[in-house]
Amino acid sequence: MSSQIRRLRVLAVVALSYFVLSCASTPHREPPKSEAPDPQQTAVKQYKEAEKLYKAKKYPLAAKKFYAFATANPNTNLTDDAYFYLGIMAQEQGDQQRAAQYFMAVLDGPIATEHFDKALLGAATAKMSIGQTEEAYRLVTRRFRLTESTDPQLAVSVLELSSKLRLQKSDPVGAIQDLLSAMSYVKSPEAQRFYLGGATEIVYGNLTEGQ
């Protein structure tokens, strides 16, 4: 009987030792941690959602998404794009005040953008529409630069606007020069005659006033 008890005690000690060793050799594993979302990927996703709505012509929803993205991400490569599309939508809705603000956000942004020239034209047009002629004039004459890479249609639009603004500033010579410059960007004889006729009208108008 005593030998059986001793055997049981030995087995109990062996079992306990095995249990202790197994616990010590098994590393403690932390539960897997969920990775925090990448802020840049989240921002791009927000922009893409807004862009998708814009292309689907769901402008009110697109405007909300673009605005939320731009205000939450002021210094990304896509921020100027968001403000540019906001400006276009505001201008199409006739809200020239807001359009001017959005386009100016593109012009004053910290990152160079491919939309700069179009945003400048949009801002100047919007400002002229709400009576801010002096600011529109400064934008067109001081910040816009014609280069060989300038889109011809865009150049013509800017020169047309500049001509109107120069007339309002009592600068007929500058207005004529803008129209003649615009004429050099068009190819059809009809379009060239249109701008030449506009320049001629300014000349005769000023000659008549001077008599």
pLDDT > 60? residue 80? yes
State the CB neighbour count (10 A cutoff) for residue 41: 9
Residue 7 binned pLDDT confidence (cut-offs 50, 70, 90): low
Residue 200 has pLDDT above 80, yes or no: yes
Q: Which one, of 137, 111, 142, lies nearest residue 124 by Cα?
A: 137
Instruction: Count CA atoms within 13 Å of residue 57 on its CB side.
Output: 1
pLDDT in tens, 120-176: 999 999 999 999 999 999 999 888 888 888 899 999 999 999 999 999 999 999 999
pLDDT value for 22: 56
Confidence of residue 94 (pLDDT cuts 50, 70, 90): very high
Residue pLDDT, tens place only, 11-34: 444 444 555 455 555 455 565 555
- What is the residue type of 209? E
**What confidence score (pLDDT) does residue 14 get?**
47
